[in-house]
Structure 1
């Protein structure tokens, strides 16, 4: 009978009876009823009416419920009554329930901060997530946080003098939890041997790229920004000089003939070794508007000026529109020294330095923790540790399992190059992307990657069936990560610029499902598929960091793994980026992403493709909400465009199906990896959840 009163609030389907059962477990509560109250059209909140045996307060009831219920099931108001109103037939008279007090904002904090540290962390949570307010008990990941945003949170906290690790964010998840484990940071200066200058060991991703051939100089990423009219070339040059002096990677050189017999070596030059005068350029628009054709010309010219051997790794091109109109700034960096996380460091630092210069102050950027040089040395040592070497068997087993071909022939490094690749871009609107980032991962205690990769596994299996490629349900996929996992004690990379990306194979096997059930989100099998893929991803130690170490930095295991299979598909989720017209730094409307274009990239056309088919996705935070953007890139001699389009659309269909599934009552739940200190099986967990009706 409770299904008659099932309600949906903020995307969650809720059984009020479950909340009532929890509240009556309070020793002083005799009776309770929970109803959905609509203060105004479209605004619904949960109200708990309670008959208590003592003078228990609404605050006591809220705290009792908070410790036992997920946030989305917590009533927004508790009304104490002497007795529940009944009809003549002895049933609850819902119409006679008194009106609740003033509405609490749906996005109001679940609890006011008790300490200065909680107030500080609440503000930092909101800044990192791009929301107005965060409650002390609100789940960071349920609000749209992910691994990259967690790095941003760690960086913001360190700037405010509070220290905790990314791992702590994943384990604690809330302001209250982090406040208990965070530490006050003392101001310190780097030790002499931690200056960051000197020889740098190549990271695994650098070795991986080198093996693909093609030139490194043209390999870049770039962003086009709308900037204040008074940007000024001299002021910009001063700010860029601060940037290259502060971040070691921007002073890197790559020269042939390394001392250990390798074909090239890397070295970070001392502060002042790179002059910003060579990096900053001005284009006078003469009253004309910026258009995409002009931007493309300047991107090509800027990329041509890059030289890793001469240490020219950055180009800043100011499109001067005059004193009355905002200009544009093309900020282009060689990919050898930048990744998705680095952009979230460089742009705010550039703006901070520019503003300080304009005020006549000496720019003081937040300190960097672990240098690129030290991290690269730690990775080289870690690749030879016995515990890490023992992982080689896991990776070898994963790569040798069956992976039937998706195409008629294999990838050809001579024929299938970046210059011949084709691309297709598709997007999902906020109505799908918002629950994809929040309610679905929260319901399954998962991450956004878990949901996206589950959908990809389902789509590939369906594509196989529809294109006579068998009924194999598993897919071997190369997955990119941010590569900043805390695998060495005492390291801190939230403020370190560089190319840290990790790349590792994953075998996705969601199991056999009926495609119609996937699309409409019906049936329990879809939830089981997500749980299965989530556990497959969690079974890989340190989010796959070890594979790159063993494959590229350990000669013995590297030779073993090099002879095994290579995934046919590549996957990368870059996290959240501002869209056109959105501020680069929250609260600074003078610097926004330009409307002409956003994040750009380029490479030497002769570079071999790493996979026959890749999907690179990101979320663009637009004024109307987040949009998931997916760029599919493929080798045209292997993949017909129609085949790619079908797979891309099936991936989106599977994502929509998972969102629909998460919207259904009774979906979600935990998996064994959520309880690392126990040996519960999935069946054990589901039995407990069924008994206790907990599906947070």
Structure 2
């Protein structure tokens, strides 16, 4: 919504969307602030040269993986109609000209050091595999085999780090397009931008002018500005919060076999799914009770499930966010491709008391995160200060949680591309070490909340993770039911940002008001 509004000259932020609850109120704020907002100057031409890395990229190199070249993200899509190979090749070339991150190369000899190439050879970018004469069964098998092979074809130094493989199935069957990118050059938000711009370029045909919107801040401009912000000391006030996330005491989670390998070869996934009715209640009804966001409720259920499993009242985990908050002055990443994900530790403490008390307590802990978590990566990886050094020696969380939101909502319908069901091949090299004992990814697709619990089958028995996932499901469903009950509800101090007040004092005021109203 924000990106599309910007295309017509209106500037708005996620905070404004939540604060202004009607179109009329939002329009008044947006029009006023769009006129007063400073102009963000984004380079519209080709960007190349040395590139400072983002915190996410530096985190990745910190993992010291054994197969650096094989750690990808990928997408398999269908193409409506018979694909025009020449037009698709041209569109892919325009896509790489527009998005500088897709032309990144990494020098590993003295570094690592990143740079953006001015151009990429076309033969590295696009490959067409003719499967028109194959049966459905044979072509499906061929696609799976080729996808597996091309997942291993990227190279940080030589390139490419982005490539497209067209599986031409003829006029009677929708062709498939496999897009593979090394994770160093894309994140989850990037894929929507890539698909939208690839469609624009393809549908423009042979015209020299493609109907792209104006470029937003380049990855090079953002990383340079982020470095300047980190070194300026403006984020130093956040250091105390991040230091508090590393508390004494053993918060490790129980493993079935601590001696087992934690490599991608041993990775297994437990899938958890919720009904459309449960998901609808979570998204539309439950947040109203305590003025929460969906992520607050998901994390509350997580703390409850881990408490039932371990008996521990604290849960240390890494949270992931899109990392594109307006923290770095003078930048706009709404249509910029790159890896901007924010990853930051959070020590969640389960409050004593009722379900209402627990929900309120977790909500307030999440609300206390400064800069949406972006500041942590800037301080740890870009500031080069004693504060950043302390953060680099904190206890590493064993659990990662990432709620990706509603993946099939919030953007224009894709007319040219549709998601395909074929597997894209293994995205990570088998010998790479998994960063976490448990990586939990959640999203809403086709109206259903689904979760993937990824773990090493050599360290956990499947029954253990299935038990934990089932416990989480019960906790979240109980939480939804509580929040949807007629007598549930309440406010927390973060609902009144202009007043310094704690929860007990706020509860006393609200109870006094309720008694007065009853009389």
Unmatched tracts of structure 1, length 5 or more: 1-152, 465-470, 514-524
TM superposition outliers: structure 1 runs of 4+ over 3 Å = 183-186, 188-196, 290-295, 401-404, 408-412, 583-590, 683-694
Could you report, residue by residue, the CA deviation over 1:255-295 in whole angstroms, capped at 9, with x for unpaired residues? 1245xxxx21111223xx02444211222222522765433
Residue aligned with 1:254, SS? strand
- What is the match of residue 175 of structure 2? 327
Moved more, 169-178 or 363-372: 169-178
- In structure 2, relative to structure 1, the CA distance for the partners of 1:370 and 1:394 (3 Å cut) is same
Residues 474 and 507, structure 1, Cα contact 8 Å, conserved in 2: yes
1:314 paired residue number: 162
Tell me the equivalent position of 1:475: 315
Alignment correspondent of 1:445:
291
- 1:223 alignment counterpart: 75
Q: Deviations over 1:52-111 (max 9, x none)?
A: xxxxxxxxxxxxxxxxxxxxxxxxxxxxxxxxxxxxxxxxxxxxxxxxxxxxxxxxxxxx
Change in Cα spacing, 1:631 to 1:295, as seen in structure 2 (3 Å) is farther
- CA deviation profile, 1:14-62 (whole Å, cap 9, x unmatched): xxxxxxxxxxxxxxxxxxxxxxxxxxxxxxxxxxxxxxxxxxxxxxxxx
In structure 1, C-alpha distance between the alignment counterparts of 2:203 and 2:390, rounded to whole Å: 52
Is the partner of 1:424 in helix, strand or coil?
A: strand
Measured after TM superposition, the shift of residue 564 of structure 1 is 2.5
Give the TM-score, by structure 2 length.
Answer: 0.90
SS of residue paired to 1:546: helix
The structural deviation recorded for 1:173 is 4.7
In structure 2, what is the equivalent of residue 502 of structure 1?
342
Which residue in 2 is equivalent to 1:594? Answer: 420
Q: Quick check: 1:645 aligned with 2:469?
A: no
1:269-668 residue pairs with structure 2 within 5 A? 269-270=117-118, 273-285=119-131, 286-289=133-136, 293-357=141-205, 360=207, 362-407=209-254, 415-464=261-310, 471-512=311-352, 525-555=354-384, 556-578=386-408, 586-597=412-423, 602-620=427-445, 622=446, 626-668=447-489
1:203 aligns with 2:54: yes
The CA deviation at 1:411 is 7.2
Alpha-carbon offset, residue 190 of structure 1: 5.1
Is the contact between residue 43 and residue 218 of structure 2 (CA under 8 Å) also seen in structure 1? no
- Alignment check: 8 A CA contact 1:213 1:606 kept: no
TM-aligned CA distance change 1:310 to 1:168, over 3 Å = farther
Structure 1: distance between partners of 2:509 and 2:73: 49
Equivalent-residue separation in structure 2 for 1:373 and 1:459 (angstroms) = 42
CA RMSD of aligned residues (A): 2.9
Greater gyration radius: 1
User: Superposed, which structure 2 residues align to 1:260-271 within 5 Å?
Assistant: 263-270=111-118
Alpha-carbon distance in 1 for matches of 2:165, 2:89 = 11
Report SS of the residue matched to 1:655.
helix
Shift of 1:686: 3.7
Whether 1:250 and 2:122 are equivalent positions in the alignment is no
1:472 Cα offset (Å): 2.1
SS at match of 1:648: helix
Matches within 5 A, 1:128-167: 153-167=1-15
Superposed displacement of residue 461, structure 1: 0.1
Once the two structures are TM-superposed, the CA of residue 584 in structure 1 deviates from its matched residue by 11
SS of corresponding position for 1:506: strand
- SS of the residue 2:308 aligns to: helix
CA distance 1:253–1:369, shift in 2 (3 Å): same
Alpha-carbon contact 1:403-1:476 (below 8 Å) kept: no
Q: Is the 8 A contact 2:17 2:26 kept in 1?
A: yes
Using the alignment, how far apart are the partners of 1:230 and 1:246 within structure 2? Answer: 26
Q: For 2:235, what is the secondary structure of its paired residue? A: helix
- Alpha-carbon distance in 2 for matches of 1:317, 1:363: 23
In structure 2, distance between residues paired with 1:411 and 1:539: 34
CA contact (8 A) 1:237 1:277 kept: no
> What is the SS of the residue equivalent to 1:419?
helix
> How far apart are the structure 1 equivalents of 2:425 and 2:22?
34
Q: Aligned partners of 2:21 and 2:330: how far apart in 1?
A: 21
Say yes or no: does 1:671 pair with 2:492: yes
Equivalent runs, 1:56-75 vs 2, <5 Å: none
Pair 1:242–1:194, CA change in 2 (3 A): closer
Q: Are the counterparts in 2 of residues 418 and 606 from structure 1 also a CA contact under 8 Å?
A: yes
Return the alpha-carbon distance in structure 1 between the equivalents of residues 140 and 91 of structure 2: 26
Distance in 2, Cα, partners of 1:666 & 1:505: 34
Distance in 1 separating the partners of 2:73 and 2:252 = 32
